[in-house]
Amino acid sequence: MRTPNCVPVSNVLLGLMCAASFSLGSATTMRGQELVKVTVHWQTVTATSKTTPTLQVVVNPPLRPGSALGAAAFQAVKKLGAEDVRYVPWLPYPRLAVAELQPPTPEKTFWDFSQIDPMTKEFFAATAGHATVMNFSTIPEWLFQTKQPVSYPADPNQVDWSYEKGTELRDPTGKALGDYYARLVSWYVDGGFTDEDGVRHESGYHYKIPVWEVLNEVDFEHRMTPEQYTKRYDTIVSAIHAVSPQTKFMGLALAAPGANPKWFEYFLDHRNHQPGTPIDFISYHFYAMPAREETADSWQYTFFNQADGFLNTVRYAEAIRRRLSPETKTDLDELGVILQSDNKPGDDVPPPPVYWNACASLYSYLFIELSQMQIDVVGMSQLVGYPTQFPSVSMMDWTQNKPNARYWTLKLIKDSFHPGDRLVETQVGSGDVAGQAFVTSAGRSLVLVNKRNRSIDVSLPEGAWKSVQEVDQSTGDGPARSAQLLVGKITLGPFAVAVLR
């Protein structure tokens, strides 16, 4: 997620359904309305999917136990049942993200998990039985050289965008940095740790951490260079690996992956790491960022044009990864849209409902394209946003305490498609619609995405299409609508996402 100063279906033709629920179509296309033909060659396999659709959970005060929004949000995570969910306590709330806010003295240390544990325990409970990616991304500022000690709010719920300071570590060897993360991880996996003064702190926790992502948006936060980050990555990985040997590691988490290819060239070159340091995953981010005055009629082009630029970045990053470290996987763990009104006065007015469908359509388009590239993890950002905290990125309706169309679209995609599915040759007769056919363990499926803010008729491939599930504006904050499909054509409403079987 960016900090504020940093510069992101449809009415089915059904038989015997009432017009109050669906706009009924006919075998004849309405005058002037385009008909997009989709052709599938089921015997021509183009790739085997490696892609896991998932989301990230960013720590915010509304996720505290006892909050109605938090309870609904964690219930949504549990109901989704996704793998590789990313958990990120981060810098706007130092007391919710940093376990040692003051440097130790010979007489005392200042470890305090009292504000951090309640939400973290909720997260582990909601994702029980599923793999997760943990990222306590905010480094204690006392570990950096600063002109004066860095302050932080006494109120854990008070936002503080100024906590991050410094670029050079006080300990140039990085040992103090590694020790901090080793103790933090030990708190959760080994039942506790021994602090700098030799005092044992017991937690009683014995969680498993499958993947640890090392820091976040390091090209922005602390203005790191590839060389600095790679050295810090090695130090943190070595320290965590000593206390959690089964954990795998993820690096980079770049905010602007297209800005400087050196990040990929340097970090993925094993010669720049300490011998034996694993690079299990790399990660980086994309947010469409429309101009402030844009509306849905512009979003239908801006979102997808910017996404196409990002997809080109993925292609060049993948070429570097395959050349230097082909065993490394890729996790695109922040994908979404950020409106220019976020975190500014007046951002408590929610975007229009069509916005959430536009964002859901964008994610679904990226899922199709990234599945074709065999990207390993495709993560929607983020579970909870709300006024002052990137409300336009939320998957929850913070006014009603329930999931919005973005969440329900992710659930539709996650429930329908899995690693191991075979992608087959799919031709779509217009750039206004994206589509991809899969052969899954449950049979043949086709996902269709309307990229435009208007209804579009689609002529379906030949075959016995029995059912459709879709999310569009008519489903609102509810789950995908299911129906029997009785004809060979479907009308995709504006920004609709449909899965046919």
pLDDT score recorded for residue 487: 79
Using alpha carbons, select from 220, 230, 264, 253 the residue that is nearest to residue 379: 253
The model's pLDDT over 351-373, given as tens digits with 9 standing for 90+, comes to 999 999 999 999 999 999 999 99
Residue 401 falls inside a structural domain: yes
- Together in a domain, 383 and 359: yes
- Claim to verify: residue 164 and residue 242 sit in the same structural domain: yes
Give the pLDDT band (50/70/90) at residue 29.
very low
Query: How much is the pLDDT for 34?
Result: 77
**3-state DSSP call for residue 87?**
strand
Residue 13: inside a domain: no
- Is residue 386 within 8 A of residue 467, CB to CB? The reply is no
* Whole-number pLDDT of residue 460: 95
Q: Is the pLDDT of residue 63 over 60?
A: yes
Residues 242 and 347 in one domain: yes
As a whole number of angstroms, the distance between CA 47 and CA 43 comes to 12
Number of domains composing the chain: 2
DSSP 110-160: -B--TTTHHHHHHHHHHTTTS-EEE---PPPGGGB--SSPPP--SSTTS--
**Does residue 454 sit in the same domain as residue 334?**
no
Buried b (16+ CB within 10 A) or exposed e, 162-191: ebbebeebeeeebebbbbbbbbbbbbbbbe
pLDDT digits (tens, 9 = 90+) for 286-332: 999 999 999 999 999 999 999 999 999 999 999 999 999 999 999 99
Instruction: Give the residue numbers spanning the domain of 283.
Output: 51-417
* Entry pTM: 0.93
When comparing pLDDT for 33 and 298, which is higher?
298
Query: What is the C-alpha to C-alpha distance for residues 177 and 47, in angstroms, rounded to an integer?
Result: 42
Give the C-alpha separation, 379 to 86, whole Å: 8
Across 32-36, 159-163, 178-182, 402-406, least confident range? 32-36
Alpha-carbon gap, residue 135 to 97, rounded angstroms? 10
409's tokens: 């679209």
**What CATH number is attached to the domain comprising 433?**
2.60.40.1180
**Same domain for 181 and 201?**
yes
Closest CA to 214 of 192, 185, 186, 188: 185
**For range 164-169, the mean pLDDT:** 94
Q: Is 462 helix (H, G, I), strand (E, B) or coil?
A: coil
Alpha carbons 164 and 150: distance in angstroms, whole number: 8
Amino acid residing at 178: G
As a whole number, the mean pLDDT across the chain is 93
Q: Which residues pair with 35 in a beta bridge?
A: 457
Residue 15 lies in a domain: no
Task: Point out the domain boundary residue: 399, 417, 435.
Answer: 417
Task: Assess whether 118 and 209 both reside in one domain.
Answer: yes
Q: Say whether pLDDT at 197 is over 90.
A: yes
Three-state DSSP class for 497? Answer: strand
- At 383, the amino acid letter reads L
How much is the pLDDT for 342?
A: 95
Question: Which CATH number is 235's domain given?
Answer: 3.20.20.80
In-domain check, residue 69: yes
Tell me the three-class secondary structure of 385-446, residue by residue. CECCECHHHCCEECCCCEECHHHHHHHHHHHHCCCCCEEEEEEECCCCEEEEEEEECCEEEE
Task: Give yes or no for a contact between 36 and 457, defined as CB atoms under 8 angstroms apart.
Answer: yes
Confidence (pLDDT) at 100: 98
Q: Each residue of 72-124: pLDDT tens digit? A: 999 999 999 999 999 999 999 999 999 999 999 999 999 999 999 999 999 99
Residue 437 near residue 462, CB atoms below 8 Å: no
Work out the end-to-end distance of the chain between its first and last CA atoms, rounded to an integer number of angstroms. Answer: 35
Rounded CA gap, 299 and 218, in Å? 29
Q: Do 95 and 80 fall within a single domain?
A: yes
**Does 265 score more than 60 pLDDT?**
yes
* Distance of alpha carbon 109 from alpha carbon 101, whole angstroms: 10
pLDDT above 90: residue 219: yes
Q: Is the pLDDT of residue 27 over 80?
A: no
Same domain, 365 and 392: yes
- Percentage of the chain exceeding pLDDT 90: 91
113 and 39 share a domain? no
Closest Cα partner for 438 from 480, 501, 380, 482?
A: 501
β-pairing verdict for 433-440 and 443-450: antiparallel
- The whole-number pLDDT of residue 1 equals 62
Residues 314 and 428 in one domain: no
In a domain, 11, yes or no: no
Residue that finishes a domain, picked among 417, 442, 466: 417
Residue 37 Cα distances to 431, 460, 461, 496, angstroms: 11, 7, 8, 17
Residue 12 lies in a domain: no
- Per-residue pLDDT at 264 exceeds 60: yes
Q: Do the domain assignments include residue 9?
A: no
Q: How far apart are CA 305 and CA 95, in angstroms?
A: 39
Compute the 3-state secondary structure of the chain and give helix, strand, coil in percent, each to the nearest 5. 30, 25, 45
For residue 463, name the pLDDT band (cuts at 50, 70, 90).
confident
- Pair 383, 490 in one domain: no
Taking a C-beta distance cutoff of 8 angstroms, is the pair 69, 401 a contact? yes
Distances (CA, A) of 376 to 3, 133, 203, 278: 26, 13, 34, 17
Q: Are residues 359 and 412 in the same domain?
A: yes
Q: Which two tokens stand for residue 92?
A: 């706007």
For residue 148, being part of any structural domain is answered with yes
Q: At which of 385, 417, 449 does a domain end?
A: 417
Q: Quick one: three-class SS letters along 260-275?
A: CCHHHHHHCCHHHCCC
Reported as a pLDDT band with limits 50, 70 and 90, residue 21 is very low
